[in-house]
């Protein structure tokens, strides 16, 4: 299953990254005489309410989501790893401090934090800056969960024989962490990364549903899912579900990779 | 027209002849009313409850837009327009049996005008100098006196629900067709018929309905689902997508009641102390720039694409829905890119490659603020973005949650342009004094001016004050026509579209005559009845 998921993800990524060549129209072009057009040879997935080609928007939107969600997951993963290491290796005070910070972060209503930061952004911030800030913030808010898991692993490794042996041999603390602990944490960190990617994809979709996702006219999978709010209308036009299907496939592939990865961990 | 005729025949025709008593009307409110006290009603939901339960001296007929006598049998303007005298209907009692008299009207006015109560309706009476006074001249006669002549004063009483001075139930004793029977916050409000309601049909007291159940339901899709299942009888405000869907399923269950008084509009921040770059302020202060932007907007496309044709291009403060006050000589700013380019060139704007630049070479780019989650508004913004791109203007759309947006446009003024909607409940221009007077906090583009900063704002101030104290309706109309002309010429607000009132009504509900004015289908609620055979 891991191989199938990998192949699917690579294929999807390839298609999405070739959006410039594959998309029949610019994602923002409005065909105002054809709003809500059905799927046809002109518009493979029909058009949205403003007459924009849904297929082109899905390619560009998928690319945006697939670039930024892993990036946010990477930010969250690296932060979780550093904090987990610091808490596990720098003594009890550091551990208490990091645990308290993680608890606070987990109890924070992240949606309101995002709203607040979005409200503070400069008005003429470029679209790419807005996207970047949104995902960085998602990444910064997403470190706490993985950090707790990684901290537990650090503590386990810290009391293991090979770490005791290294310390008894006079190995300094930073070297123990860098050479003996981190390599053993990497598979777990990788699994956490794979778990958080779909979480961030879905978080962006949720923000999109609230109208606070990626700003117009840039498409994203989350923004495209807003069309499905009107479910009876969408059922009558089943091609509107294709972006949701793409999101579902990507998320499922990531979950399959995690499941397979558990065996490795 | 044929469809309209069939609709009215189907819904009105048989209803008027064989009305049946009984039954419960069910519909949805989109949020919990902030108050059930009629004196404090401010939001739409509270106003709906006030309309359904409150008895008023005069009512603006939502179809003819003329004043109908209700608790007052007659009224006259006296003392050169400073006084209005009402002759009251006799033998009427509140829902709890307490007799109604002029003393109750005086008490109501006293509550509304009490500065400690902060009654929103009371604010509309604060015209001219001094506080209005209500003087009882007998059990069935009362005079309300103002410090200065007030034009169109009678219409103000459409929103004054009379409360009882003596009833132990206080504001829960009502004179309208229904009274509040049950309220489960966040879930529903049930209104029961007022057994003492004064209107009758064939010797029997109205309303026909026994009760109204108002479900608190924020989700518009669920409301539509309930309507499809027959669990609610009507939807007063469909969005265009829902209207098209229902229309495709059953054309006779929906009706486009025509343009409302609600407008979608855009304005630039003209506040000179706003924390934005001075060169941007200079663009926005330029009449030519504002008009050029207006001419680049394809309003017909907005109506057709965003509202599926169920909207009209916006012209000015009032839409065609306001039969008397709308200035018929004005047309929407035409979509005319050549005119827009000429206006921009006159101010030194020029193309620098594919983007527009001002006289000093600054690329023309500004942000447009709107509230997140309003699909129609977000679509309008996306269309404006493409329209303005044809002039080389880059528009950045910023969607914010509503509290953040309000903070920016009313307190910090950290915004450049804003896209929002305006709702007019009052047909009379006096209801818009708080928008047009330059000293007002709701003078959105540049509020709270100590004195008018521009000549045209000074002219609007003068005209609005003059029409408010003029008694002759035609003279007032001439004055307000001029206000509309100045607004059209100077474009402080760019009126985009007036959306139509789209309603869905169950086949079992009779006597339905949807109005484009609030509360749409419910305006004649005392005469609605349910055909039990359906």
- DSSP for B3-14 reads HHHHHHHHHTHH
Is the Cβ–Cβ distance between A206 and A115 less than 8 Å? no
The answer to whether the CB atoms of A216 and B397 lie below 8 A apart is yes
Interface predicted TM-score of the whole assembly (ipTM), two decimals:
0.79
SS3 labels along A163-232:
HHHHHHCCCCHHHHHHHHHHHHHHHHHHHHHHHHHHHHHHHHHHHHHCCCCCCCCCCCHHHHHHHHHCHH
Q: Is B97 exposed, middle or buried (0-12, 13-18, 19+ CB in 10 A)?
A: exposed
3-class secondary structure, B227:
helix
Q: Give the residue from B265, B243, B269 showing the smallest Cα distance to B254.
A: B243
The answer to whether the CB atoms of B304 and A49 lie below 8 A apart is no
Chain B: nearest CA to A64, how far in angstroms? 18
How large is the average pLDDT for residues A224-244?
84
Specify the pLDDT at position B128.
Answer: 65
CA angle A8, A220, A207 (to 5 degrees): 115
Residue A261 has pLDDT above 60, yes or no: no
Chain A: nearest CA to B407, how far in angstroms? 10
CA distance B108 to B131: 14
Specify the pLDDT at position A127.
Answer: 78
Out of A28, A210, A233, name the one closest to residue B372 (CB): A210
Q: Is A216 on the interface with B (CB under 8 A)?
A: yes
B334: left (phi over 0), alpha (psi -120 to 50) or beta: beta
Chain A: nearest CA to B11, how far in angstroms? 27
Please name the residue of chain A whose CA is at the shortest distance from the CA of residue B395: A124
Q: Is A33 on the interface with B (CB under 8 A)?
A: no
Largest CA distance in chain B: 78
The answer to whether the CB atoms of B378 and A50 lie below 8 A apart is no
Cα pseudo-dihedral A244, A250, A255, A258, rounded to 10: -160
Cα pseudo-dihedral B384, B386, B388, B390, rounded to 10: -150
Give A-chain residues touching B400 at CB under 8 angstroms.
118-119
Residue B457's contacts (CB-CB under 8 Å, 6 or more residues apart) are B438, B446, B449
How many Å from the N-terminal Cα to the C-terminal Cα in chain B?
Answer: 26
- Residues forming beta bridges with residue B141, ordered by sequence position: B87, B138
Q: Give the residue from A140, A141, A154 showing the smallest Cα distance to A84.
A: A154
Tokens of B313: 């291009």
Residue carrying structure tokens 């007052």? B72
DSSP symbol at B89:
P
- Residues forming beta bridges with residue B312, ordered by sequence position: B498
CA angle B489, B316, B294 (to 5 degrees): 55
Out of B305, B375, B397, name the one closest to residue A51 (CB): B305
Given the DSSP bridges, would you call strands B178-184 and B133-138 parallel, antiparallel or unpaired? unpaired
Specify the pLDDT at position A257.
Answer: 81
Specify the pLDDT at position B17.
Answer: 56
Please name the residue of chain A whose CA is at the shortest distance from the CA of residue B372: A211
3-class secondary structure, B265:
strand
Out of A28, A35, A211, name the one closest to residue B399 (CB): A211
Length of chain A: 265
Residue carrying structure tokens 């550091």? A94
Out of B365, B385, B416, name the one closest to residue A217 (CB): B385
Query: What rounded mean pLDDT belongs to chain B?
Result: 92
- Residues forming beta bridges with residue B28, ordered by sequence position: B215
Interhelix angle B337-346/B287-296, rounded to 10 degrees, is 160
SS3 labels along chain A:
CHHHHHHHHHHHHHHHHCHHHHCCCCCCCCCCCCCCCCCCCCCCCCECCCCCEHHHHHHHHHHHHHHHHHHHHHHHHHHHHHHHHHHHHCCHHHHHHHHHHHHHHHHCCHHHHHHHHHHHCCCCCCHHHHHHHHHHHHHHHCCHHHHHHHHHHHHHHHCCHHHHHHHHCCCCHHHHHHHHHHHHHHHHHHHHHHHHHHHHHHHHHHHHHCCCCCCCCCCCHHHHHHHHHCHHHHHHCHHHHHHHHHHHHHHHHHHHHHHHHHHHC
DSSP string computed for B248-294: HH-GGGEEEEEEEEEEEEEEE---TTSSS-HHHHHHHH-HHHHHHHH
Give A-chain residues touching B416 at CB under 8 angstroms.
123-124
How far, in Å, are A180, B396, B422 from residue B412 at the CA level?
54, 19, 21
DSSP symbol at B332:
P
Average confidence (pLDDT) per 10 residues, chain B, 534 residues: 44 58 94 92 91 96 94 94 94 96 96 87 75 91 91 90 94 96 95 96 94 93 91 93 90 92 96 94 97 98 96 95 94 97 97 94 95 90 96 92 89 95 86 89 93 96 92 95 97 97 95 91 96 81
Residue carrying structure tokens 């910064």? A140
Among the residues of B423-513, which ranges form H helices? 433-436, 455-468, 473-490
Out of B305, B369, B385, name the one closest to residue A32 (CB): B305
Specify the pLDDT at position A211.
Answer: 61
Q: Which of A144-158, A232-246, B4-18, B34-48 has the lowest mean pLDDT?
A: B4-18
CA distance B386 to B236: 32
Residue A264 has pLDDT above 70, yes or no: no
Specify the pLDDT at position B179.
Answer: 97
Is the Cβ–Cβ distance between B303 and B309 less than 8 Å? yes
Percent of chain A topping pLDDT 90 = 31
- Residues forming beta bridges with residue B493, ordered by sequence position: B267
- Residues forming beta bridges with residue B213, ordered by sequence position: B26, B190
Tokens of B360: 């000093």
Q: Give the residue from A22, A58, A72 showing the smallest Cα distance to A246.
A: A58
CA distance B221 to B213: 19
Q: Is A109 on the interface with B (CB under 8 A)?
A: no
CA distance B282 to B289: 9
List residues of chain B with CB under 8 Å from any CB of chain A.
Answer: 221, 224, 241-242, 245, 298, 301, 304-306, 365-367, 369, 372-375, 378-379, 381-383, 385-386, 396-401, 404, 414-416
CA distance B420 to B494: 11
Q: List, for residues A178-202, the tens digit of each pLDDT value.
A: 888 889 888 888 888 888 888 888 8
Given the DSSP bridges, would you call strands B211-216 and B417-422 parallel, antiparallel or unpaired? unpaired
Q: Is A120 exposed, middle or buried (0-12, 13-18, 19+ CB in 10 A)?
A: exposed
Specify the pLDDT at position B229.
Answer: 92
């Amino acid at each position: 299953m891991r191989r199938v998921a990998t192949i699917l993800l690579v294929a999807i990524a390839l298609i999405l990254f070739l959006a410039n060549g594959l998309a029949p129209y610019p994602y923002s072009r409005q065909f105002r005489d054809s709003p809500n057009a059905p799927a046809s040879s002109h518009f493979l997935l029909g058009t949205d309410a403003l007459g924009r080609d849904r297929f082109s928007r899905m390619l560009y939107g998928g690319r945006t989501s697939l670039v930024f969600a892993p990036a946010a997951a990477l930010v969250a993963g690296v932060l979780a790893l550093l904090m987990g290491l610091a808490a596990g290796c720098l003594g009890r005070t550091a551990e208490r401090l990091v645990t308290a910070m993680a608890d606070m972060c987990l109890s924070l209503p992240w949606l309101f934090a995002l709203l607040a930061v979005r409200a503070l952004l400069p008005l003429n911030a470029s679209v790419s800056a807005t996207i970047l800030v949104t995902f960085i913030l998602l990444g910064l808010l997403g470190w706490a969960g993985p950090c707790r898991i990684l901290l537990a692993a650090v503590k386990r490794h810290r009391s293991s024989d090979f770490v005791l042996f290294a310390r008894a041999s006079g190995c300094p603390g930073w070297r123990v962490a860098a050479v003996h602990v981190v390599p053993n944490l990497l598979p777990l960190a990788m699994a956490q990364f794979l778990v958080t990617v779909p979480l961030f994809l879905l978080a962006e979709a949720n923000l999109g549903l609230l109208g606070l996702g990626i700003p117009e006219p840039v498409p994203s999978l989350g923004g495209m899912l807003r069309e499905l709010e009107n479910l009876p209308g969408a059922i009558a036009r089943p091609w509107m579900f294709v972006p949701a299907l793409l999101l579902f496939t990507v998320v499922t592939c990531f979950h399959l990779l995690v499941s397979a990865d558990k065996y490795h961990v | 027209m044929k469809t309209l005729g069939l609709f009215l025949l189907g819904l009105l025709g048989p209803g008027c002849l064989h009305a049946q008593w009984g039954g419960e009307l069910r519909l949805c409110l989109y949020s919990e009313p902030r108050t059930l006290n009629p004196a404090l009603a401010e939001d739409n939901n509270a106003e709906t409850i006030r309309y359904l339960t409150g008895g008023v001296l005069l009512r603006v007929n939502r179809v003819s837009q003329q004043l109908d006598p209700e608790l007052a049998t007659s009224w006259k303007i006296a003392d050169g327009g400073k006084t209005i005298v009402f002759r009251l209907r006799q033998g009427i009692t509140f829902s709890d049996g307490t007799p109604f008299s002029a003393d109750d009207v005086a008490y109501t006015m006293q509550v509304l005008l009490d500065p400690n109560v902060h009654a929103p309706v009371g604010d509309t009476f604060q015209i001219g100098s001094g506080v209005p006074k209500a003087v009882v001249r007998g059990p069935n006669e009362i005079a309300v006196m103002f410090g200065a002549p007030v034009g169109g004063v009678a219409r103000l009483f459409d929103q004054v629900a009379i409360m009882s001075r003596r009833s132990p139930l206080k504001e829960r004793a009502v004179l309208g067709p229904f009274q509040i029977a049950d309220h489960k916050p966040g879930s529903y409000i049930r209104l029961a018929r007022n057994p003492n309601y004064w209107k009758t049909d064939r010797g029997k007291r109205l309303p026909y309905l026994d009760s109204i159940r108002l479900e608190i339901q924020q989700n518009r899709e669920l409301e539509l689902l309930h309507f499809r299942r027959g669990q609610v009888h009507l939807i007063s405000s469909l969005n265009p997508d829902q209207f098209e869907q229902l229309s495709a399923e059953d054309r006779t269950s929906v009706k486009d009641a025509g343009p409302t008084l609600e407008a979608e509009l855009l304005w630039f921040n003209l506040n000179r102390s706003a924390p934005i770059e001075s060169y941007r302020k200079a663009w926005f202060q330029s009449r030519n720039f504002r008009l050029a932007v207006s001419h680049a907007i394809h309003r017909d496309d907005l109506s057709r694409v965003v509202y599926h044709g169920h909207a009209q291009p916006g012209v000015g403060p009032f839409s065609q829905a306001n039969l008397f006050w709308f200035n018929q000589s004005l047309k929407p700013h035409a979509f005319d890119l050549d005119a827009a380019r000429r206006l921009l060139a006159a101010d030194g704007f020029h193309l620098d490659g594919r983007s527009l630049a001002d006289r000093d070479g600054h690329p023309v780019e500004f942000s447009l603020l709107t509230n997140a989650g309003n699909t129609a508004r977000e679509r309008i913004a996306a269309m404006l973005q493409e329209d303005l791109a044809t002039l080389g203007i880059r528009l950045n759309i910023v969607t914010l949650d509503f509290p953040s947006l309000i903070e920016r446009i009313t307190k910090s003024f950290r915004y450049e342009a804003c896209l929002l909607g305006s709702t007019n409940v009052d047909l009379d221009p006096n209801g818009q004094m708080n928008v047009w007077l330059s000293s007002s906090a709701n003078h959105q583009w540049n509020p709270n001016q100590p004195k008018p900063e521009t000549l045209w704002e000074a002219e609007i101030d003068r005209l609005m004050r003059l029409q408010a104290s003029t008694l002759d309706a035609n003279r007032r109309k001439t004055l307000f026509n001029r206000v509309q002309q100045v607004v059209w010429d100077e474009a402080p607000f760019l009126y985009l579209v007036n959306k139509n009132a789209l309603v869905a009504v169950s086949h079992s509900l009779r006597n339905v005559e949807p109005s484009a004015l609030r509360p749409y289908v419910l305006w004649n609620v005392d005469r609605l009845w349910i055909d039990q055979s359906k």
